A and B are shown apart, each in its own frame.
Chain A
Amino acid sequence: MQSIAVFILPLIIVLIPLYGIIRKVQVYEVFVDGAKEGFQIGVRIIPYLVAILFAIGMFRESGAMDFFMTALGPVLGLVGFPVEVLPMAIFRPLTGSGSVGVLVDMVSAYGEDSLIVKMAATMFGSTETTFYVLAVYFGAVGIRRVKYSVQTGLIADLSGIISSVVIVYLLFG
């Protein structure tokens, strides 16, 4: 499994431009055009990062984080859910750029290679900002009564969160 994984990024980086060339795309110009978006996104997420990082930084520094973790840890431990990834599970459905901040905080607290960060990153990559999608998609067509879609969205999120933990345990644990 690990040896397959090593090939994934290089394959993406090589195959996409190759496919582009075959389909007669101006790969260089198109790449540069897309890369410009990187700059915009980098700048656009700054306010969200500041908002989340400073609030979580305060929370951690005040000792409140430790308090809640020791309080909730044993409860979640009963089902094998590591309490450290809880912030990601809470923030992911609510804010996309904000959960980048949560992930940043975890990387600096637990290290890039820790299981905790792997779980949180898998959660981040495998679920969407449910409430944002809900607001944008239904807002665009003027739907006010959303029926059961909040439930199904959150059920999907919850299963993504749980399966992230289980899968990372199985693959790396």
Chain B
Amino acid sequence: MLNYIWAGLIIISLVFAVGHDAGDMLQDTYRNGKVYEIELLFPENSDLNKRQNIRFYTAGHEKAFEAVWRPIDDTYEMIIPVDPEMPELWQNIAENQQASNRSEMLAEVVSINREPTTAGILLPKVRYVKLRAITDAAFDMAEFAVTLAIGLIGVMALWLGLMKIAEKSGLVYMLVRIVQPFLRFLFRNVPKNHPAHGVISLNMAANMLGLGNAATPLGIKAMEELQKLNPNKDTASNAQCMLLTVNTASVQLLPPATLVALIGTGVNELVISMALATLISLFVGITAAKIYERFHPEEPHDSNIPDEQKISYNPTNEG
């Protein structure tokens, strides 16, 4: 699934970029190869074969724009800084040209006349705008990802350090007491006092504190305990489906470390919204699982308890 979405993003990007560039080419958006007639203003008695600052007029614009005149072998070039009063097309050309400096463009002088001094100039050709843009985006983002991840380390270290203290000081066990009363309702088929209850409540409590690293091994352990009770070893039992639902809904009361690092102190005001959203999704998930259970009736698991566990588990000694 993820493979298709990911590849889809890249392929669709390429299709869109190629489509856009083909459209540009067909409509000749940038008038590639068009010669613009301009009127040049040289300082008095100047030599055309010297590099110098000049000004020029272009048709339909009052303002004289600045440029640098530069002789190259037998021809001339002009370096034209972008001016916000220039024709819009010119500005677009400068914006999308291939050269990395977007604040100026290099125009080739194709013809020149004296008295009055006019010239025909060719602006840089603009091609494959989007194709270049997506390539740049890919490279820039790859670089950005690393600087970002390194930047997140500090706050993540702070958060995970705190969470480790919470873990070691047994804050989890406080939550276990809150969770436990619900387990009988959630896992009705699991016999009372069965070891699965303990592991499941630890798993849920670790999830609540956002202790992902601690929660996953506990969840797997809980799954193994439930598997011992499961009569069909390759099919999930209702209890296992419930455990999975509870874990995917993930009751996180504390924000995950990556989020704290990314949003910073802004997480403050999100804690409440996250706690509310997570409780709603848990409630809906559990309700859905309970409804599905009705359509997949199961015998209580008491009879499935393996022999080695029957010794510690004594049904007559309940309550």
Cβ-defined contact, A42 with B153, below 8 A: yes
Cβ-defined contact, B161 with A41, below 8 A: no
Min CB distance B254 to A, Å, is 7
Min CB distance B290 to A, Å, is 9
Interchain CB contact (< 8 A) of B162 among A12, A22, A67, A152: A12
Cβ-defined contact, A35 with B161, below 8 A: yes
Cβ-defined contact, A35 with B245, below 8 A: no
List B contacts of A91 (CB < 8 A): 5
Complex Cα–Cα for A167 and B269 (A): 12
* Most central of B152, B164, B165, B256 by chain A CB within 10 Å: B165
Complex Cα–Cα for A64 and B12 (A): 7
Interchain CB contact (< 8 A) of A125 among B16, B216, B241, B274: B274
Cβ-defined contact, B277 with A63, below 8 A: no
Tally inter-chain residue pairs, CB-CB below 8 A: 347
Cβ-defined contact, A58 with B134, below 8 A: yes
Asked if A171 is at the interface (CB within 8 A of a chain B CB), the reply is yes
Cβ-defined contact, B296 with A147, below 8 A: yes
Min CB distance B148 to A, Å, is 6
Q: Mark B86-124, 1 if CB is under 8 A from A, else 0.
A: 000000000000000000000000000000000000000
**Stretch in contact with the other chain, from B27-35, B40-48, B61-69, B227-235:** B227-235
Main secondary structure on B side of the interface with A: helix
Complex Cα–Cα for A156 and B235 (A): 21
| A41 and B273 contact, Cβ closer than 8 Å, known pairs A125-B255, A140-B220, A153-B285 | no
| A128 and B249 contact, Cβ closer than 8 Å, known pairs A143-B227, A156-B281, A160-B277 | yes
Asked if B22 is at the interface (CB within 8 A of a chain A CB), the reply is no
Interchain CB contact (< 8 A) of B258 among A41, A46, A122, A160: A41
Cβ-defined contact, B233 with A142, below 8 A: yes
Cβ-defined contact, A153 with B248, below 8 A: yes
Cβ-defined contact, B130 with A63, below 8 A: yes
Cβ-defined contact, A156 with B249, below 8 A: yes
Cβ-defined contact, A32 with B277, below 8 A: no
* Most central of A39, A52, A53 by chain B CB within 10 Å: A53
Asked if A141 is at the interface (CB within 8 A of a chain B CB), the reply is yes
- B residues sitting closer than 8 Å to A (CB atoms) are 1-2, 5-6, 9-10, 12-17, 20, 130, 133-134, 136-142, 144-146, 148-150, 152-171, 213, 216, 219-220, 223-224, 226-227, 233-236, 238, 240-241, 243-245, 247-250, 252, 254-259, 262-278, 280-282, 284-285, 288-289, 292, 296
Besides A34-B164, A50-B141, A50-B146, 16 new A-B residue pairs in contact (Cβ under 8 A), listed by A number = A6-B268, A38-B257, A42-B153, A49-B146, A50-B145, A57-B137, A59-B12, A59-B13, A91-B5, A104-B262, A137-B247, A140-B220, A141-B227, A142-B233, A160-B278, A164-B277
List B contacts of A147 (CB < 8 A): 235-236, 238, 241, 292, 296
Cβ-defined contact, B278 with A35, below 8 A: no
List B contacts of A126 (CB < 8 A): 250, 252, 274-275, 277-278, 281
